[in-house]
Amino acid sequence: MIHYQIIPYQPEAHIYRVIIDIPSPDKSGQILSMPAWISGSYMVRDFAKNIVSIAAVSQGEVLEIGQIDKQKWRISATCNPIKVTYDVYAWDLSVRTAYLDRYRAYFNGPSVFLQVHGSETTQCAVDICTPEGERYVDWRVATSLKSDGLDRHQFGIYLAEGYFDLIDHPVEIGLFESATFMVDSIPHEIVISGHHKADMGRLCLDLKRICEEQRKLFGRLPFERYLFLVTTVGDGYGGLEHKYSTSLLCNRDDLPRLGQGEISEGYRQFLGLCSHEYFHLWNAKRIRPSAFSIGDLQIETYTRLLWVFEGITSYYDELMLVRSGVISTKSYLELLAQTITKVIRGSGRFKQTLEESSFNTWTKFYKQDESAPNSIVSYYSKGALVALALDLKIRAETAGRLSLDDIMRELWQRHGETGIGLPEDGFESLAEEITGLNLAPFFQRYLRGTEDLPLKQQLESLGIDLVLRQKNSQSDLGGFVTKSVEESPRLTLGVKFSPDINRVKLQQVFDDGSAQQAGLSAGDELIAIDGIKIMPENIEKLLSACSSEDLLNVHLFRRDELLQMQVRLQFAPENTCDLMLNESAMSEMIKKRQSWLLTNEG
């Protein structure tokens, strides 16, 4: 057994101390390494950069330990047990890495635990230690790791089946609040750290309904316990899936308050995030691409299937909210309209296919710059729309007998329960096998091509009208409406402004818009139009007073250089989606819609 010990060693300096006891090291020289990335987040993060110091001893003798490359070390040969001690700097408030101060400790295994090469399948024990000092006497532990006879939330020894199991259980330490709900007699605990005033009862009730709906889809829960780890902050959002838990970051104001009636937009977003990560316990953590089966976290691993694991999950995360009855049909359609808007506002969807988006996530999606809307497409958002279109196509062409649900259940039985990785062509072939449909043209157009999806026609068959219009403001994302309203055409600069409240700075410049044609670029700070000073509070008013015939003199700073350019505004594109229920829809359409959403609406 490999024995790890992790100590919040110097909270004020954000230092963890990790000690590894290796009873039977490699006699030719033990190799250790730190992962370069973490499963579920496809960017090389080089966790080894946070190792401050490292040393090895054997029976009192100091061993030479030399670095092989940026993330690997070799210890000099010995036949005796080795003790490795190293310190890790932890000051990243995210769901991916590690954090430590006097008020809280959190870590994800890949960012703190070195891998002992040759012993990956050897059982591990990890001793999670309390920091020294009176201020930490009330701290507790929350993790999905199995304990070695400990009471819940107790410091001490936890067990893992091997290294890759060890690093798939994030750990929260500190003064947190917790509550538990049951799904099929299986405990689901939610732990919240940080300042908040959440209604824990309401939160458990809503999460229980969502989890139960997902369990109905797949048939059973593949674990004995599940843990939601939530960190609240003033402004933040994110999640990362694990096999038996998830780590979530949210705005504390998004959580429900006591006495709160309607679900706020922020709470709806938080529930969608929980739903997304919970769905991953099937689709990503157990149903996995073959390429990820080797478990190599040292270098990038490529697959064209991320649209399956993230896109389909993004489709179901909000669908489960309405199917469970947590949100209404109208609320769901508002979310769907916003997803459609997000996709069609980027011209990158005509330049990058969904498969390319999946494959190049390492260098494009996870390293987006100001040109992202013009050059890439999201395998999350467009993947969700492809999943929707595929679901509606299957339902329509099988007269409602089959749906994407059937494919997901079969994926679970063949690849999730068995642990057999999904081949690159596995989803497409399984979809055709299960449905009996020729889906090759669909996949060719929308996975390996850049055509827009036929969502308007598909949704109309369910009594849902899709209308595209100009956006009303920078914050207008589209949504659900009761009727379409004719409005006067608007002019636009074709940019996205930075959220800076003191300056008018261009964050993004969109393809073929008036700003791009005039030579404006992301990062430019606009200071005047036709001699009038521009401020965040008056820019919209100044632009709305212009006509398409006006040739505007724009003064701006590009870095520290004052420039003047002439801009002619264009009419805003119709790239904002509204969805509405067709009040004249035939009963058959409504029945199809209700069968899809599993609801009587409301």
Residue 148 DSSP code: S
Q: What is the pLDDT of residues 180-192, one digit of tens each?
A: 999 999 999 999 9
High-pLDDT (> 70) share of the chain, %: 100
Predicted confidence (pLDDT) at residue 178 exceeds the cutoff of 50 = yes
Every domain range in the chain assigned CATH 2.30.42.10: 491-571
Options 1.10.3720.10, 2.30.42.10, 2.40.30.10, 3.40.50.2300; CATH for 491-571 is 2.30.42.10
The pLDDT assigned to 474 comes to 81
Q: Flag the least confident range among 199-203, 295-299, 566-570.
A: 295-299
**Running DSSP on this structure, what letter comes out for residue 130?**
P
DSSP secondary structure of 358-427: HHTTTTTGGG--TTHHHH---TTHHHHHHHHHHHHHHHHHTTTS--HHHHHHHHIIIIITT-PPBPTTHH
d(C-alpha 119, C-alpha 526), whole Å:
59
| The predicted structure's pLDDT at residue 261 | 87
Mean pLDDT of 14-28: 97
The DSSP call for residue 307 is I
pLDDT the model gives residue 601: 62
d(CA 550, CA 571): 13
**What span, in angstroms and rounded, lies between the C-alpha atoms of 37 and 111?**
9
Give the position of tokens 């959440």: 198
Using alpha carbons, select from 277, 262, 353 the residue that is nearest to residue 316.
277
**Residue 385: band (very low, low, confident or very high) from pLDDT cuts 50, 70, 90:** very high
Tokens at 286, concatenated: 């157990």
Length of the chain: 602
Residue 138 pLDDT exceeds 50: yes
- As separate numbers, helices (DSSP H) first and strands (DSSP E) second, the chain gives 16, 32
Tokens, residue 217: 């889809």
Average per-residue pLDDT in the chain? 96
Residues of the chain with CATH 1.10.390.10: 176-267, 282-463+587-602
pLDDT at 525: 97
Name the class of domain 2-175.
Answer: mainly beta
- Across the range 411-431, mean pLDDT stands at 98
d(CA 389, CA 445): 12
Residues 551-572, mean pLDDT to the nearest whole number: 97
Rounded to an integer, the average pLDDT of 162-181 is 98
Alpha carbons 127 and 139: distance in angstroms, whole number: 15
- Residues 478-487: tens digit of each pLDDT: 999 998 887 8
Cα Rg of the chain (Å, integer): 26
The fourth-level CATH superfamily of domain 282-463+587-602 is Neutral Protease Domain 2 (1.10.390.10)
What residue has token string 């300056």?
A: 503
- More confidently predicted of 544 and 63: 63
CA distance 243 to 321: 22
Structure tokens at 517: 């044609």
Per-residue confidence (pLDDT) for residue 318, from 0 to 100? 98
pLDDT grade, residue 581 (50/70/90)? Answer: very high
Q: What is the pLDDT of residues 489-507, one digit of tens each?
A: 899 999 999 999 899 999 9
Alpha-carbon span 586 to 79, nearest angstrom: 79
CATH class label, 176-267: mainly alpha
Query: What is the identity of the amino acid at 261?
Result: G
CB 217 within 8 A of CB 408: yes
Is residue 204 within 8 Å of residue 268, measured between CB atoms?
Answer: no
Neighbours of 370 (CB within 10 A): 14
Cα separation of 75 and 30, whole Å? 5
Percent composition of the chain: helix, strand, coil (DSSP 3-state, to 5): 30, 30, 40
What number is the average pLDDT over the span 274-297?
94
Q: What is the DSSP letter of 599?
A: S
Which pairing describes strands 552-558 and 561-567: parallel, antiparallel, or unpaired?
antiparallel
Residue predicted with more confidence, 101 or 599 = 101
> Given this model, what pLDDT does residue 602 score?
47
Angle separating helix axes 329-344 and 312-323, nearest 10 degrees: 160
pLDDT score, position 483: 85
Whole-structure pTM value:
0.96
